[in-house]
Amino acid sequence: MAKIGNIDLGNFPLLLAPMEDVSDPPFRAVCKANGADLMYTEFISSEGLIRDAIKSKQKLDIFDYERPIGIQIFGGDEEAMALATQIVSVAEPDLVDINFGCPVKKVVCKGAGAAILKDLPKMVKLTDSVVKATHLPVTVKTRLGWDENSKNVEEVAERLQDVGIQALTVHGRTRAQLYKGEADWTLITKIKNNPRIKIPIFGNGDIDTPEKALLYKNRYGIDGIMIGRAAIGYPWIFNEIKYFLETGNHLPAPSIEQRIEVCRTHLEKSVAWKGPRAGIYEMRRHYAPYFKGLDHFKEFRTQLVQADHLEEILFVLEKVAVHYQGEPQLG
């Protein structure tokens, strides 16, 4: 049974990863409806929150139907992280998560995200400042290390548990790998098997099928799995994994009608939350993943990304439904 503080996540929870420009409330809504057990916001800059940056503040929007949900922050300054944590706590998430894993240059060059892996004492101090600034459980997401020669995540786990984190998610790559190559979970299982470690350990990286989820659950003995890119355009993956773990059988793949229904829900929530212009613009990245595998979909995708009004997009989705009616389900 995985528990973070008083949050009971069940026997083997599936977590939705915090992904920049992806894990917003509209996307989280369709993932929650399809089986995600714990979700996180997009990561939020501690400095941006303190400056009252509009985009950072908007990322604090959470809704009761999403619970349990964590707000994720990043930064390289103790005072800023503590202040940001206080601001986040007012939004009343179920937990606060610290991003020590983001590999992108704009975060790393500020001495935040995965850059902290190069300075373990600083990582401990930053974590301690966050833990002391909130009554909420604090969790951390990180990577194996900065590069192949500095995989320090085993020590990271012990040191951060000592200052009070209540769960750890590890992405099975170094910062140097970005998202290339195969994720290595061997160090994740070493952390899980360390008798000193008492907190839940979640694994992240490369889980994109129910079979792989079962294999990694059994092979690595982790407390749960965090899923990121595989959920983009395919929120059904959470329920598909759960069903496979319980029964050994596969749920039917979503039909064209189901794909259109969930895509439409995502779109309408996006417009409602962000407004018509941003909501429509930011949905454009999702159309190709929602309809991946359909023959000759390119023409429809072009129409979807060129449409500027909700009514136009809904009309194109209706055309997709008619065109592909009766097509076999897609996996």
Residue with tokens 């929530």: 269
- Res 53 pLDDT > 80: no
- Res 190 pLDDT > 80: yes
Q: Which residues are catalytic?
A: 102
CA distance 293 to 307: 22
Mean of per-residue pLDDT scores for the chain: 92
- Res 330 pLDDT > 80: no
Query: Mind listing the pLDDT tens digit for each residue in 130-179?
Result: 999 999 999 999 999 878 787 889 999 999 999 999 999 999 988 777 77
**What's the pLDDT at 63?**
93
CB within 8 Å of 59: residues ≥ 6 apart: 24, 41, 42, 44, 71
**What's the pLDDT at 21?**
87
2.60.40.10, 3.20.20.70, 3.40.50.1220, 1.10.10.10: which CATH number matches 3-247? Answer: 3.20.20.70
**What's the pLDDT at 326?**
66
**What's the pLDDT at 103?**
67
How large is the average pLDDT for residues 216-231? 96
**What's the pLDDT at 102?**
74
**What's the pLDDT at 328?**
54
How large is the average pLDDT for residues 102-125? 80
- 253 to each of 27, 230, 292, how far by Cα in Å? 19, 15, 12
Query: Mind listing the pLDDT tens digit for each residue in 86-113?
Result: 999 999 999 999 998 776 677 766 777 7
Query: Mind listing the pLDDT tens digit for each residue in 208-222?
Result: 999 999 999 999 999
Residue with tokens 């965090």: 226
Domain coordinates in residue numbering, the chain? 3-247, 256-323
First to last CA, the chain: 30
**What's the pLDDT at 329?**
53
**What's the pLDDT at 257?**
94
Least confident of 66-75, 99-108, 272-281: 99-108
Residue with tokens 């899923």: 227
**What's the pLDDT at 165?**
98
How large is the average pLDDT for residues 72-84? 94
Where does the pLDDT of residue 317 fall: very low under 50, low under 70, confident under 90, or very high at 90 and above?
very high
**What's the pLDDT at 158?**
97
CB within 8 Å of 38: residues ≥ 6 apart: 4, 7, 9, 13, 15, 16, 68, 69, 70
- Res 237 pLDDT > 70: yes
Structural domain 256-323, CATH architecture: Orthogonal Bundle (1.10)
Distance of CA 162 to the CA centre of its chain: 25
Element (H, E) at 138: strand 138-143
CA distance 161 to 145: 17
CA distance 122 to 117: 9
- Res 116 pLDDT > 80: yes
